[in-house]
Amino acid sequence: MGHFPPDGQGGSPVVRAFPFSFDTPDILTGAALYTPTIGDILLWAWIMVTTAWDGTTPLGMYGQFLGTKYGIGWAAWSAPYDMTQAAQSPTTTNDSTFPAADGMNVSVPNTNAAAFYGDRDEIVLGRFESANPVEIVVSQDGTNTGADPGSTQGAAVLYLVTATPV
């Protein structure tokens, strides 16, 4: 069992909230919401839908995308957020071993806790390895190359919990 902060590093956690909506510029291909500092620790990240989205299968994903059409995900079983479901929140935690995050340039320890959000998993305990912006995407498949869901309503908040090593 590891200890927190990882490797004895880390300052106080900072919770950052980035509201976005169906009409946020570049939401279909990647709306930049936050530029991390290289070396900062990503403790947790999730989307909270505040107003349900309409349209055809609006699915949300966040990440740095980094030459891939996918945001943050863990292996094949990660799924984008169902943006039609308002007021969801993380419900349980589980200790597991995960591969490196897909679509975000963070290094991830071998063992870390993950909170499951319906059928979606949340990223925790990673270190930003690049200052590429964290983006939000809402499309019909949750990728930054997906079809426009045609939403005319919907709002959410991307939460990022970070810490700067001391």
Expressed as residue numbers, the domain containing 93 is: 21-156
Asked if the structure places residue 86 within a domain, the reply is yes
In a domain, 139, yes or no: yes
Q: Is 43 helix (H, G, I), strand (E, B) or coil?
A: strand
* 141, part of any domain: yes
**Residue 140 · residue 148 · CB < 8 Å:** yes
Ramachandran angles phi, psi of 77, nearest 5° = -95, 5
Mean pLDDT of 26-53: 92
pLDDT recorded at residue 90: 44
Q: Is residue 16 part of a domain?
A: no
Rounded to whole angstroms, the Cα distance separating 124 from 2 reads 14
Whether pLDDT at 155 is above 50? yes
Tens digit of pLDDT for each residue in 3-32? Answer: 444 554 558 899 999 999 999 999 999 999
Interatomic CA distance for residues 145 and 113, integer angstroms: 30
Name the most confidently modeled range: 70-79, 83-92, 137-146: 137-146
**Is 25 domain-assigned?**
yes
Peptide bond into 109 cis (omega under 30): no
Count of domains for the chain: 1
Instruction: Specify if 73 maps to a domain.
Output: yes
> Is residue 55 over pLDDT 60?
yes
Residue 151 located in a structural domain:
yes
CA distance 83 to 90: 15
